[in-house]
Each structure stands twice: as C-alpha cells, then as structure tokens.
Amino acid sequence: MDLEERLSHVRSVGEEIITEGELRTLLETNDRPTAYDGFEPSGLAHLPFGVLRPILVDEMQKAGVRMKLWIADWFGWVNNKMGGDLEKIQEVGRYFVEVWKAAGVDMGKVDVLWTSDAVKDVDYWKRVVTVAQNSTLARTQRAVTIMGRTSKELIQTAQLFYPMMQVADVFWLDVDICQLGLDQRRANVLAREVAVRLKWKKPVAVHHHMLIGLQGRKETEGYDEDAALDLEIASKMSKSKPETSIYVHDTKEQILAKIGSAYCPAKVVEGNAPLEYARYIVFRKAKSLKVERPEKYGGDAEFFSYRELEDSFRAGTLHPADLKRGVGESLDGFIAPIRDHFVKDPAARRLYETVKSAETTR
C-alpha cells in the first residue's frame, strides 16, 4: 500500500489531525507505527463503542498502524465510575474486551493493556510526576474536561491526577499516535507540549468524531472554549445517559423505537441523529442503505452514498419516518452479531449480567 492510501485511511478516522504534516512524515519513515485509544470502563457498551470503534480500529490497521487498546481501570476509579468500586470497574473492562471480540476486532492484531498493570511499576509514576512538574495547576484544571466533566464539576483532589496520568500514558505506552475522540484533545495537546519541553517523542494526535446522541444537538456546557467543539462534546451519545444511547444489547424492536424517537425534522440536516448514524456507520460498513416504503410514497429506494441520501432528505423526497426505518434496520444488522454473542456464550452472558446489574455512575 502506498503512502497516499495509508494517509487516506487515517484521514477517514481523524476529524482533526495534529498535524497532518507530521503524520505524513511518520508514515513515510515508519512502516509499523503504534497508536492507542483509552477506555474508562463503566456501563454497557453503546453504538460508538461497540460499532463505530471497531470501524476506526480497522481503518488504522489498514494504514499499517498497530493499535494499543488501553483499559483505563484506574482512571475509572479516579472518576468514581461504578460507584468507585475498582473490582466492578475491572469486570467492566473484561466485558469491554468481550464486546470487541463480538464486534469482529481481531484481538491477535491489537494489544490490550491495563492501567492496573502499569501502576505496579515505579517508572510509570515517575512519568506521571514528571508530567505534573511540567504542567501548571491552571492547565491541569482546564484539562479535567477529558473526564466528561466541566472544570466546575471538579470536586476531588484525585481528579487532578487524571489528566497527568493520561498524558503520562502516551509516553509510557511509547506510541506514535494518540487516536482518541475529540473530547480528549486537551490531554493530547498537553502531551505534545510536554514532549517538546522534555525532548520526549512528540505524538501525532488523530481525533475522531463524537457520534451524536439520539436527542440531536444540545446546549453547550463549558467543556471547551471553542463553541463548535463544546457543542459536539455536549451532544455526544453517552453510555452513562441512556436517553441518548443505543446499546449493543438492545433488541431490534428497541433499536427501531429509539431511532423512531430520534431528532430528525423533515429537510433538516444539522444535528439530525439518523443521518449522522448513516454517515459515520452505515456507509462505512455497507455499500448502500435500503429504504422500504409503499409505492404510494415512491416505493423502495436504495442509496449508494451518504451525499445521495442527504440530498434526498434535504430536498424532501425522503420522509423522516422512512429514513429512520432504513437506518434502524441497518444498525440492527450490525448490532445483531454482538447481541447474539452475549446471549449464546455463557461466559459473555455472565459478564453482561454482572455489568448490567452493577451501579453505573457518571
């Protein structure tokens, strides 16, 4: 595969790349760079985690990138997930790995690593302290938004460790690329600055899009000074907010009902949840989107690109109810193998039942 093809795969992942020039140089000089994404274990897997994330891993792998999937169990502990019970958090981490398997991620081609293993090594904590020595308190407080909280929600000293640990992870894991969501950009930008200051390897940041929740766009909440980014973070589908989410365990009836109630005004593209799921998931996993409808409403239709679908919806030739039905059917097709795995496999079912019954907290 030539350089431009590799760049194309990474571009398909990154809504923002810091910087593309550095990415090009990296791919020119390294046939097998490494990247990581971190996952704070809490709650049941939703559409971004169980369906979108495997798509992004696959694209990075096609570019020749070795992915490290970081089970950030201690981060969940610091962030008081699962009631602050570390054992429960770790059980969710094991459940996360099972979701990736069920979603088709080739676990032999990724490295699954745990924060709880790293913290046993004193050198990890030397990295954390060194990062803290090279970060101001004000900058650290601004970065707490990576926890899914605004700076106004900061209530415990332990939460100040979170950004310092996340920045240290980049260097502990010795990665070339930070491939996380846009909501994590403050930590990645700080990591790049710390790298320059300490003459450590400076990572490229590849930030993926935050999939919108069923409710559509929300009001900004103070996650970032950039209004557009703040809106995207505030509006994302969050597994800790069930009213925004589709889960990989939802039945077909539940998926269709949720999509049926999603924000989708006629001819409105901005903030339209079903259109967004078509753009970021359906057309990345399927060659087309089929819409079944009675002859009196135009008969069945098939769309072979997102642009074609959007144009039809914007023009009013595709009704919101028909769009929702088509997207819902497609999503159920992608989710069904994951859902079925947790029904048929006894060990997977036990993990699911444990996580489902555990306390889930923001």
For 71, the enclosing helix (H) or strand (E) is strand 66-71
The pLDDT tens digits for 115-149 are 999 999 999 999 999 999 999 888 888 887 776 66
Pairing of strands 204-208, 177-181: parallel
pLDDT of 33: 97
Pairing of strands 66-71, 34-39: parallel
pLDDT band at 362 (very low <50, low <70, confident <90, very high): very low
pLDDT of 242: 81
pLDDT of 157: 83
Tell whether pTM > 0.85. Answer: yes
Q: How far is CA 158 from the centre of its chain?
A: 24
Q: Compute the distance between CA of residue 49 and CA of residue 43 in angstroms, rounded to an integer.
A: 11
- Mean pLDDT calculated for residue range 277-302: 92
**Which has the higher per-residue pLDDT, 214 or 224?**
214
Q: Residue type for 249, please?
A: H
pLDDT of 361: 47
Using CB atoms within 10 Å of the CB of residue 314, give its burial: 0 to 12 exposed, 13 to 18 middle, 19+ buried.
middle
pLDDT of 160: 87
Neighbouring residues of 221: CB distance < 8 A, sequence distance ≥ 6: 150, 230, 233, 234
Domain boundaries defined on the chain: 3-208, 239-357
pLDDT of 99: 96
CA distances from residue 8 to 59, 175, 185, 204 in whole angstroms, order as listed: 9, 20, 21, 16
- Please report how the helices 20-29 and 3-13 are oriented relative to each other, as an axis angle in degrees rounded to 10: 140
Q: Compute the distance between CA of residue 46 and CA of residue 58 in angstroms, rounded to an integer.
A: 18
Write down the CATH number for the domain with range 3-208.
Answer: 3.40.50.620
Q: pLDDT at residue 221 above 80?
A: no
C-alpha dihedral over 55, 57, 60, 65, to 10 degrees?
A: -160
pLDDT band at 220 (very low <50, low <70, confident <90, very high): low
C-alpha dihedral over 43, 15, 17, 2, to 10 degrees?
A: 110
Q: pLDDT at residue 30 above 60?
A: yes
pLDDT of 1: 78
The pLDDT tens digits for 81-103 are 888 899 999 999 999 999 999 99
* Fold assignment, 239-357: Tyrosyl-Transfer RNA Synthetase (1.10.240)
Q: Taking all residues of the chain, what is their mean pLDDT, rounded to a whole number?
A: 91
Using CB atoms within 10 Å of the CB of residue 4, give its burial: 0 to 12 exposed, 13 to 18 middle, 19+ buried.
exposed
pLDDT of 3: 95
Q: Token digits for 69?
A: 């999937």
The pLDDT tens digits for 318-338 are 999 999 999 999 999 999 999
Q: Token digits for 194?
A: 């710390």
CB 316 within 8 A of CB 245: no
The pLDDT tens digits for 61-82 are 999 999 999 999 999 999 888 8
Q: How many CB atoms lie within 10 A of CB 353?
A: 12
- Mean pLDDT calculated for residue range 185-214: 95
CB 319 within 8 A of CB 281: no
